[in-house]
Structure 1
Amino acid sequence: MGRTHRQTAASNGTSPGAVGNVLARAKAAGLTTWEQVTQLDDEALQRALYGTSVVEPGVAPVEPDCAWIHRERHRPHVTLELLHLEYLRQHPNGLRYTAFCNRYPAWLARRGLVMRQVHVAGEKMFVDYAGKKPTLVDSASGAVTEVELFVAVLGASSYTYAEATRSQRGPDWIGSHCRACAFFGGVPRAVVCDELKSGVTRACRYEPQVQRTYEEMASHYGTTVLPARPKHPRDKAKVAVQVVKRWIFARIHNEVFHSLAALNVRIADAARRHQQPCDETLRREPEGALREAREASARAPVRQAYERSHRTARASAWAQAARLARAGLFCRHTGHVFRRRSQVPHL
């Protein structure tokens, strides 16, 4: 018609390359004049240019297999255009290139890709505090005190240890780790913790700073501390916390406890029932644990006095260890106390 490719593309709202592609197909089909084009209907023109028939009315084209596209895209030098041509060989009346390309990113957005974590047995122990806090009721005044719920879980087996502590401070945090390792009967290669102040003094995505006493405890046990990355909940022990909430805390939320010992006995019983096979004997409450909980609750005033004296003795022991360390007579790694300065080895 005497027009250039660019002028034709501007009038139809397409690209000059698309116009050139259609003209090349028409020349290959022997359609060199406009009169030859006008003599053909739409279906005949479609067959002449593209070698396929138009889709019948009411018949939807076959949707591409986006999982197959995703697998093939990982191969080198494989593009969506090549995959579309292979798709058309199997389904000649399938989607055109633009619709084909739009299906794949839409499928990716619905899929919600995440990295699957593979845990090796004995490699990691995830530790955290549950957001839901148990409570203790004072037997004399009736005052309600909230306590913390510590959770430790092994990555591979999801074997869980839980206990209640007075606070999230350093002594309780370290003591919970020691009791968890004693419960598991071993020490993992790494301990993954949330970035709370008792474990991490400076939160950072790349170089977090672990609290000094916490790091010394890990060195004493021959393990390492791996703080979870900020805003990465899959790094943390959230699954274990959910298990504790649903299977342990839900069993005891209607019960009243007057001492920390009685609460921990009940938590241990609930955790044991959850992690053992659910046969008929385990569905019944063990009378020994309940009797022990009742006796511990009856001894609440004596137990509270003992805990206060134990905390005082522990604080004085920490102060004495700090004085010996400053004097160079105490080794933090081995816990050995030297009576004279001449006994201290020179490293």
Structure 2
Amino acid sequence: MKIIRRRKNKVDKVTNVHKLIMLATVPAIKENYENVKILFELMKINDISFKFMSDLKLLIIVNGQQTATSSFPCPYCFVKLQDLRNRMDINRVDPPTNDENNGDFPDEELLAKKTYGDLRKDYQEFVSLGCDKKVANKSRSTINTPLFVEDGNVPVLQKCIIPELHILEGFVNHLFWIVLVPLLSKEKALLWPQKLKLVSKNYHEEAFEGNACRTLLKRAYVLLEPEISEHLRGSLALQPFTAAFRAMDKIVHSCFAVRRVQSELSHHIKDLKTALLAIDVTETLKIHITLCHIEESLEFLNDNEGFGLWSKQVGESIHREFLKFWNIRKFNNLDDSDYLLRLKAAVVDFSPKHI
């Protein structure tokens, strides 16, 4: 792995937060299309070639789409929200009809790679509809022109790398809090992370963070211990959950690190899909991306590398790293003229020390 020397007797990997620079920090603004557009224009970011990594909310915003709960929620393909809801509904009596795009086996056109040409075409359709968000489903949920200037044939997957940290957290938290807790009760379900000495932190709602999610995947077998499964008359009902967690663990091990992508990745994704079909679970956007787009996304990275070099986790760590520089100059009154001067000084001090 390539390493870069930082100072005498100290080296940092290129994936380390100490090699991350900050171009700008903007306090107290809403994360919406208009504000992000202003930032991109000020930085002239389209003047350089780059790949983009962010959480799904921002990724959807910069590509001009609505939200992750819109009629066409996926930033990478044209799958419909209704398709995702039908995909794994094991309680459904009748099979999906052709009009519903065959939930278990969506049309190939729906899973085709979305390109920047598609996004611009869909935006023009939205304009022709009078920019009425009530009928945005007719423009495939595209309501703004994408902020990235790319050739029309460039897939979004090539420009915007899958945010592996948020995929991991979304998968674990959805299966735990939305499916497992109602099955076991919150008290029983929490015995699993408690046995592993993990803490559930309240971030927006109840959720486990990255390292805790990784530990839960690695030690899914603890879920089958009698103390947790006793009121279900055995562990049989929990075995599909452990199978799903184990399959996801293998996917993470196969391609989320810096090392080369392992050849068994396709098999692990198939195993995950099989396990999820045995669980009464809605296919969320993050589960959909895991099943349908991880392999495609890896095709656009260099030398069969995993997601590690592009990890969102480093970006999350910058908050704590920057705090060291901000605490020296900390100033709480945003309305005071000195606030922005101190903030700029902290950023200017931060970035040169991380090159």
TM-score, scaled to structure 2: 0.27
Structure with bigger strand share is: 1
Higher CA-based Rg? 1
TM-score, scaled to structure 1: 0.27
